[in-house]
Structure 1
């Protein structure tokens, strides 16, 4: 698999692939001076490079991941750690990264290029739009809808039956007790909108 990105999230992705006995064929990064574990990367994205290989965008920032995805011609793979628990009826998009000990429950639909980070929990019947990042230790309770390009911060909790808009930021440790409109930044317990 080709890894696009040479930062901390790429290290996690490579570690997952190693645990799955899958080979990394190249590390790409747009920064010409980027290194990965002390070694130079293979440079920026090249559409004709190893065209039969799957690629994953190993970048945590949702907007950057979305921008890059629009220019990729390779097919996207999924990277899922063996310790993750995913219900058999979960609908999985492409370009997903599901990290160690994450849980995705029955009836859930995951869009494309989503990150379900370390120990995050997504309960039953949730729908997550493209480019969502559920950060480490976050809990998304049942029947929640999350719009594309939204960050659910580390250790936050989204209560059941709510809708979180697109392009939102839910601050770390927040408890969301009501639905949130598009483009809102929310923080606290209970979560309050602090900016649009």
Structure 2
């Protein structure tokens, strides 16, 4: 019988959001694993069960695993390592998210309350579409992208792996954003961005 308990890697603020989202979405319970254990034994109303290594020894106890760490590089590294060990990588979708049945959601994705993923969009593994963020038609998010609260991607936007779209940022339709890019809070992206830059302002420009 498959367990209805979700294992969560991480025990910070984002992990608590993922836990709350999971419980709202129908998971019976959650269990946290963080390498700061035993220094950290609790996160909000939940206790931390052990380190990530402890999880590897107990994966059969859980119906799924999700990595809930805000840092894109760290999240992806844990996600890939767990998937290699054949962990069941769960995606967590808040019941008040709107997700088109004609979109594609990869494993290990978190879609928070008020988020929208529209028709034809592809959300890669280990992505976060945070509170009130929107990913419009035919967008494509690479692995471990984070679209922060209140950020909006217009149609046909491509975002490379491990990029971060900051709080309240706006991306014009058809834009291409490279790998490992950080778009600042409130930025307005109206032209393509190459790999690895930090872009701020309105219009957003790479910071020198």
TM-score relative to the length of structure 2: 0.90
1:36 to 39, 43, 49: 43
CA distance in structure 2 between the aligned counterparts of 1:23 and 1:101, rounded to whole angstroms: 22
State how 1:86-97 maps to structure 2 within 5 Å: 86-97=99-110
The aligned residue for residue 149 of structure 1 is: 162
CA distance in structure 2 between the aligned counterparts of 1:4 and 1:24, rounded to whole angstroms: 14
The runs of 4+ residues in structure 1 deviating greater than 6 Å are none
The aligned residue for residue 5 of structure 1 is: 10
Q: Is the 8 A contact 1:185 1:194 kept in 2?
A: yes
Q: Is the 8 A contact 2:164 2:182 kept in 1?
A: yes
CA gap of 1:38–1:92, structure 2 versus 1, over 3 A, is closer
Gaps of 5+ in 2: 1-5
CA distance in structure 2 between the aligned counterparts of 1:39 and 1:161, rounded to whole angstroms: 42
- What is the aligned-residue RMSD (CA, Å)? 1.3
Gaps of 5+ in 1: none
Query: Structure 1, residues 98-146: CA drift from partner, whole Å, max 9, x if none?
Result: 0001011111011100000000011100011000000000000000000
TM-score relative to the length of structure 1: 0.95
1:48 to 22, 37, 57: 57
Q: Shift of the alpha carbon at 1:39?
A: 5.5
Q: How many residues align?
A: 195
Which moves more between the two structures, 160-169 or 21-30? 21-30
Q: Is the 8 A contact 1:151 1:169 kept in 2?
A: yes
